[in-house]
């Protein structure tokens, strides 16, 4: 059994299925969970049914977009943006697409079309990822007055058709996947101890990338959110929280003791930075770091709980720089994993350079970073000791 505690849009789960392994994934974001559910159902999706639905979509859309048709669907009332998310011409086309999706009675087909729309919806909006979601004009791009919306969705559907056909032809497997729309920290409610053979995952990095806010349009347009309060629970459940959710709090401490580590001292260094800036200074970022590593501790404990003796976990994690203070998150996660009883097999760095972002408060970038201040991506490999070796360690 393969586990991904942060399944995202399901890549790990699909790869596990393709290799013939049962898989389970946790994902708190409803949009990403939808993608997981659609992808992991790929073996059961009727290729012919999808092709017929795609043809019906073309006929429905072409018949209505050229005339005076007034869509029945409406934009989500609670979704607000600084500028109109869609131009009037594009909005009408999007609402026609929503009208067609509403006609689909087959749950699987409806989810596939919802996913095709969600995967393309920003492309024809007046927003773009830079890498966070923001107005196109703010990044020097022109607003989109009109766009071939149906063509974009149809092309995405064709990608789905091609991928489904390939998977069903090459991955003749009876393996099954389970998608759990919940935080991995609820693992004890869903998984038995010593039940997972292999864990592979990549938790959110210590970079304050706001995954839920960056999928806000998807959550509203797919009906998963109706008002801002609906997103609060996702923010609170997010791994490591967000700087915005902890910056106003008094100094947060680590929930664990890590003998021989300089993690506490490193966080204290961040806390002392730029005190005159108030919540934008070091204390808020130190709180963010403390929250992040507290969740790393919970993650390590969860991995130790679910892994079978002898099982391995690969955790892909990126380092960070907060207020100019270097944070080797891979090393700290390895130390935390060892502290909860896992064996640290090693740390590799397959991606030695990656682009920084605005939170680092430093001039460090890939082209000019010093060796000790390089942003990178690492793989932390840990193993749960077999019973014999655990007994030996206890006796020693």
pLDDT tens readout for residues 55-111:
999 999 999 999 899 999 999 999 988 899 999 999 999 999 999 999 999 999 999
Shared domain for 188 and 247, answered yes or no, is: no
Which of 210, 239, 268 represents a domain boundary (last residue)? Answer: 239
Strand partners, 312: 198, 383
Cα distances (Å, whole numbers) of residue 310 to 164, 184, 393: 34, 21, 15
Let me know whether 230 and 351 are in one domain. no
Taking the C-alpha atoms of residue 315 and residue 382, their distance in angstroms, rounded to an integer, is: 8
Residues 17 and 80 reside in one and the same domain: yes
- 231 shares its domain with 251: no
Last residue of a domain, one of 214, 239, 264: 239
Gap between the Cα atoms of 325 and 273, Å rounded: 9
Q: Considering 203, 219, 239, which residue would you say is the last residue of a domain?
A: 239
Residues 188 and 109 in one domain: yes
Q: Which helix (H) or strand (E) holds 320?
A: strand 320-322
Q: What is the Cα–Cα distance from 330 to 78, expressed in whole angstroms?
A: 40
Q: Supply the pTM of this predicted model.
A: 0.89
Taking the C-alpha atoms of residue 6 and residue 14, their distance in angstroms, rounded to an integer, is 14
Kindly report, residue by residue over 359-396, the tens digit of the pLDDT. Answer: 555 444 333 344 456 889 999 999 998 864 444 444 44
In this structure, the answer to whether residues 264 and 233 fall within a common structural domain is no
Look at the chain and report how many structural domains it folds into: 2
Distances (CA, A) of 267 to 53, 181, 194, 264: 55, 32, 34, 5
Q: Which domain holds residue 254?
A: 243-396
Let me know whether 125 and 248 are in one domain.
Answer: no
Over the chain, what is the mean pLDDT? 89
Same domain for 77 and 46, yes or no, is yes
Which region, left, alpha or beta, applies to residue 240 given φ > 0 means left and ψ of -120 to 50 means alpha? left
Handedness of CA 38, 41, 42, 44 (dihedral sign): negative
Quote the CA–CA distance of 26 and 49 in Å, as a whole number: 29
Same domain assignment for residues 251 and 228: no
306 and 235 inside one domain: no
Packed helices 88-103 and 107-120: angle between N→C axes, nearest 10 degrees: 160
Same structural domain, 34 and 171: yes
């Amino acid at each position: 059994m393969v586990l991904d505690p942060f399944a995202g849009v399901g890549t790990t789960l699909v790869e596990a299925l393709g290799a013939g392994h049962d898989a389970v994934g946790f994902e708190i974001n409803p949009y990403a969970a939808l993608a997981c559910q659609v992808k992991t159902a790929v073996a059961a999706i009727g290729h012919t049914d999808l092709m017929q639905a795609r043809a019906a979509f073309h006929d429905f859309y072409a018949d209505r977009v050229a005339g005076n048709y007034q869509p029945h669907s409406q934009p989500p009332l609670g979704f607000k943006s600084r500028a109109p998310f869609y131009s009037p011409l594009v909005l009408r086309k999007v609402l026609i697409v929503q009208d067609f999706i509403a006609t689909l009675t087959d749950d699987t087909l409806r989810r596939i079309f919802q996913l095709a729309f969600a995967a393309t919806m920003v492309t024809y909006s007046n927003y773009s990822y830079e890498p966070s979601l923001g107005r196109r004009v703010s990044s020097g791009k022109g607003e989109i007055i009109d766009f071939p919306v149906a063509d974009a969705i149809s092309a995405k559907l064709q990608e789905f058709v091609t991928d489904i056909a390939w998977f069903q032809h090459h991955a003749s497997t009876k393996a099954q996947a389970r998608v759990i729309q919940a935080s991995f920290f609820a693992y004890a409610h869903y998984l038995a101890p010593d039940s997972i053979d292999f864990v592979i995952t990549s938790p959110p990095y210590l970079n304050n990338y706001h995954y839920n806010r960056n999928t806000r349009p998807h959550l509203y347009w797919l009906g998963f959110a109706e008002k801002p309060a609906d997103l609060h629970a996702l923010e609170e459940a997010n791994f490591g929280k967000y700087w915005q959710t902890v910056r106003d709090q008094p100094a947060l401490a680590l929930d664990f003791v890590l003998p021989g580590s300089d993690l506490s001292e490193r966080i204290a260094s961040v806390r002392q930075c730029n005190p005159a800036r108030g919540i934008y200074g070091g204390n808020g970022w130190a709180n963010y770091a403390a929250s992040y590593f507290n969740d790393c501790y919970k993650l390590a404990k969860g991995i130790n709980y679910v892994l079978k003796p002898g099982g391995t976990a690969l955790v892909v994690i990126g380092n960070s720089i907060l207020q100019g203070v270097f944070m080797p998150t891979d090393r700290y996660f390895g130390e935390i994993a060892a502290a909860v009883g896992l064996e640290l097999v090693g740390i590799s760095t397959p991606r030695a350079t990656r682009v920084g972002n605005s939170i680092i408060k430093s001039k460090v970038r890939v082209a000019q970073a010093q060796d000790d201040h390089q942003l990178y991506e690492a793989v932390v490999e840990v193993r749960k000791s077999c019973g014999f070796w655990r007994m030996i360690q206890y006796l020693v």
